[in-house]
């Protein structure tokens, strides 16, 4: 048994690091099998040497993050745990078509997301930009196609400005909607050769289309992904979900804090979460800022915007 001591000079820092009712420390204890106690401005970690070293590294990283950001979420704790322990790196890779290309979850949250897609027929993925919602769903769709678990992949996005604004764009209808579908195609092209994608699209094995084109269809043995699902209306979401046929799987992903719908319009994603999350076979995965795996600055950018939004909300509530 060994022991390590970490100093916490500021009471406010200790509160952020420990979490409400010491929840963050409990998470570290359970994940790493160490004894963690705190008192007199110190955190004591005891246990087997390797476990103590990992726990100390986790706490030091969380301490640094709390000093920088002023607070921690459970997602932050899970993300640092995954980075230190290699949770994402040890997870089984996603089997995609391109030779030599390995895709695997890089955080604990992403690993849970992959497991959820494998185990459920309908998954709602909620999280900020850069947390891997769309990218990992597309990778799982490619894996399912390669393993003959499905016969086709359908990638769908709502064209929020499908009214007047779209008409001012140059070109035919396909040219007008391409900008809305580009993120889905970009993800797919990282995993499948361009010529192969072209053949798949010609054979109708892969479809990339606006949400409105789903009306009236029934899709059997298909892996269907709805991107930017927060921008669907309630009726659009119902229409989309009821396209699901035998042997199909649906992943609907979005960021419920970034809705682009007109004022006073209800988000179909929020409504579906309320109605469907307790139905057997349906799962909801909530990714956090800790799961952001884009450029290192993206996580700090998201934090900065969130902090300003919270400050404005607080000021508004005080004035009210």
Dump pLDDT digits (tens) for 111-131.
Answer: 889 989 999 999 999 998 888
- Within 197-292, strands assigned E span 206-210, 222-226, 249-254, 282-286
CA–CA dist 113, 90 (Å, integer): 15
This model's pTM is above 0.85: no
The Cα-based distances of 214 to 41, 155, 238, 241, 305 in angstroms read: 59, 11, 11, 10, 35
**Does 35 or 104 have the greater pLDDT score?**
35
pLDDT computed for residue 166 by the predictor: 46
pLDDT computed for residue 178 by the predictor: 66
Query: pLDDT of 181-223, one tens digit each?
Result: 777 888 888 888 888 888 999 999 999 888 988 999 999 999 9
pLDDT computed for residue 150 by the predictor: 96
């Amino acid at each position: 048994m060994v022991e390590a001591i970490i100093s916490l000079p500021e009471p406010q820092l200790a509160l952020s690091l420990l979490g409400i009712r010491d929840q963050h420390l409990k998470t570290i204890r359970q994940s790493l099998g160490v004894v963690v106690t705190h008192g007199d401005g110190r955190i004591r970690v005891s246990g087997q040497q390797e476990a103590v070293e990992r726990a100390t590294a986790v706490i030091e990283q969380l301490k640094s993050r709390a000093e920088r950001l002023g607070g921690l979420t459970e997602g932050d704790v899970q993300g640092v745990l995954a980075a230190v322990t290699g949770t994402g790196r040890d997870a089984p890779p996603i089997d995609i078509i391109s030779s030599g290309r390995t895709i695997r979850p890089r955080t604990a949250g992403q690993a849970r997301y992959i497991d959820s897609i494998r185990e459920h027929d309908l998954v709602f993925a909620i999280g900020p930009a850069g947390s891997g919602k769309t990218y990992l769903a597309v990778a799982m769709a490619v894996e399912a196609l390669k393993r003959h678990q499905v016969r086709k992949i359908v990638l769908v996005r709502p064209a929020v400005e499908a009214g007047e604004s779209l008409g001012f764009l140059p070109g035919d209808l396909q040219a007008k909607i391409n900008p809305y579908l580009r993120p889905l195609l970009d993800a797919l092209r990282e995993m499948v050769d361009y010529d192969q994608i072209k053949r798949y699209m010609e054979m109708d094995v892969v479809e990339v289309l606006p949400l409105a084109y789903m009306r009236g269809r029934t899709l059997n043995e298909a892996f269907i992904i709805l991107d930017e699902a927060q921008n669907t209306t309630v009726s659009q979401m119902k229409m989309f979900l009821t396209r699901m046929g035998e042997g199909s799987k649906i992943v609907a992903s979005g960021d419920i804090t970034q809705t682009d719908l007109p004022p006073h319009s209800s988000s179909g994603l929020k409504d579906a979460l309320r109605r469907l999350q307790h139905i057997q076979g349906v799962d909801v995965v909530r990714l956090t800022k800790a799961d952001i795996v884009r450029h290192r600055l993206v996580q700090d950018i998201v934090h900065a915007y969130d902090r300003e939004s919270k400050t404005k909300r607080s000021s508004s509530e005080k004035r009210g």
